[in-house]
Structure 1
Amino acid sequence: MADLLYPPVIGAARAWFKALDLRFDVRGSEHVPAHGGAVLVSNHISYLDFIFTGLAARPAKRLVRFMAKDSVFRHKVSGPLMRAMKHIPVDRSRGEHAYSHALDALRAGEVIGVFPEATISRSFTLKDFKSGAARLAQEARVPLVPMALWGTQRLWTKGHKRDFGRNHLPITIRVGPPVSPDPDETALSLTDRLRERMHELLETAQRAYPASPGGAADSWWQPAHLGGTAPTPAQARAL
């Protein structure tokens, strides 16, 4: 079935980026395969991360099918859009259905987008990873493509108001070389290897970010280990 809605939605998103005057620094998008199945794996620091994760796949002319919680699909506005763009609903009480759906899509040559932390990281550091992305890549025999986003938390994240003002906000995106599953590797070992690679990408994105907090009141989006006032990972777990 042709993707009639997805391209116009991408066009609308690009127009929105321009209206917000967002500045993008994207490196490594050549690592997204132009053909065949792949699992695109990103950190999760904003409600809008799926938009920017998908942006990294555009140079390869790929449309990413994201796995998202099923409540998004039940919403009267987002639901029809999500279904029309062939995203994958995840009911956490019946996760096997979403897994089977994603596996079929990978075997059909689709790119599946996964946030292995499952929920937004309030500390803006990597949380523990679920092993689903690794298991999908192993069973479908496709690569994992790691990536890291930085700056998206300043637009809209958990516990903070949305900021959609025209403020020249920079967004940094780093995509790493594919991580190929080893036939003799466990899903947990592959997940650890993926997380280590994504940690390196996240640190690279943070170092490359062209902006710093404008004082103590603006340091909420900076992780505690970098001198910001975001919760530590332990504090975030308590929240």
Structure 2
Amino acid sequence: MAELVYPPVIGFAHTLFKALDLRFDVEGTEHIPQRGGAVLVSNHIGYLDFVFCGLAARPAKRLVRFMAKESVFRHKVSGPLMRAMKHIPVDRAAGMDAYKHALTALRSGEVVGVFPEATISTSFTLKNFKSGAARLAQEAGVPLVPMALWGTQRLWTKGQKRNLSRQHIPVSIRVGEPVTAGRDESADSVTERVRGRVQDLLESAQRSYPVRSEGPADSWWIPAHLGGTAPTPAQARGLDRR
């Protein structure tokens, strides 16, 4: 079936990137398979992360079907777009439907995008990963492709105002080698291996990021352990509970 909506949306995203004059640093896109199913696994630090994960798949000419919370599909603007782009709604009260939907997509050769932290990390460090991505990869017999994003939180994230002005913000994207999810391995073990890969990629992106804090007023996006004023993981967990 022809993709009538996804390509124009990609075109709009590229126009927006140019308008904002974002400075991209992308490595590892060759690890995204050019054919066949795969589970794309990324950290989650901003509301636009799915856009940048999808960008990393374009050199392989792949369209990523993202698993996203069901409320996004109910929105009068985003809902029709999400459905037309064949993204996958996740109702946390009935997660098996989304799981089956994603499994069907993988078996038909699609790339499915998953944020296994489930919600944005307001500490900008990795939260615990849920095991759904690993279980999908095991059951569908497809690889998991780890990815890390950095800098996207400076554009739009939880608890901060949107910053979509032309400030030449750098965005780093790192894609790692695919991880094979053995059927005899526990999903928790696979999940921890993938999380470790994402952590390595995230640290690589942070080390090479060209911007550092210019003082306390501009350090909110930097994790506490790197000298910034973002909440610690423990503080972020408390904020999530509230």
Q: What TM-score does the superposition give when structure 1 sets the normalisation length?
A: 0.99
Q: RMSD across aligned C-alpha pairs, in angstroms?
A: 0.5
Give the drift of 1:182. 1.7
SS in 1 for 2:109: coil
Give the drift of 1:214. 1.6
In the other structure, the counterpart of 1:6 is 6
Give the drift of 1:183. 2.5
SS in 2 for 1:220: coil
1:61-76 matches, within 5 Å, as 61-76=61-76
C-alpha contact (below 8 Å) 2:147/2:175 kept by paired residues: yes
Unaligned runs of 5+ in 1: none
SS in 1 for 2:161: coil
Q: 2:162 & 2:78 partners in 1: Cα distance? A: 18
SS in 2 for 1:173: strand
Unaligned runs of 5+ in 2: none
In the other structure, the counterpart of 2:153 is 153
1:25-64 matches, within 5 Å, as 25-64=25-64
SS in 2 for 1:171: strand
1:1-239 matches, within 5 Å, as 1-239=1-239
Give the drift of 1:216. 1.1
Q: 1:204 & 1:185 partners in 2: Cα distance? A: 28
Q: Please list the CA deviations of residues 94-149 of structure 1 after superposition, one character each: whole Å capped at 9, or x if unmatched.
A: 00000000000000000000000000000000001100000000000000000000
SS in 1 for 2:219: helix
Give the drift of 1:215. 1.2
SS in 2 for 1:148: strand
Q: 2:160 & 2:90 partners in 1: Cα distance? A: 25
SS in 2 for 1:116: coil
Q: Which amino acid aligns with 1:125?
A: T
SS in 2 for 1:113: strand
Q: 1:225 & 1:76 partners in 2: Cα distance? A: 40
Q: Which amino acid aligns with 2:153?
A: Q
Q: 1:120 & 1:170 partners in 2: Cα distance? A: 19
Q: 1:210 & 1:3 partners in 2: Cα distance? A: 37
Q: 1:203 & 1:112 partners in 2: Cα distance? A: 24
SS in 1 for 2:34: coil
Count of matched residue pairs: 239
Q: What TM-score does the superposition give when structure 2 sets the normalisation length?
A: 0.98
Q: Please list the CA deviations of residues 65-104 of structure 1 after superposition, one character each: whole Å capped at 9, or x if unmatched.
A: 0000010101111110000000000000000000000000
Name the % identity: 76
Q: 1:154 & 1:53 partners in 2: Cα distance? A: 16
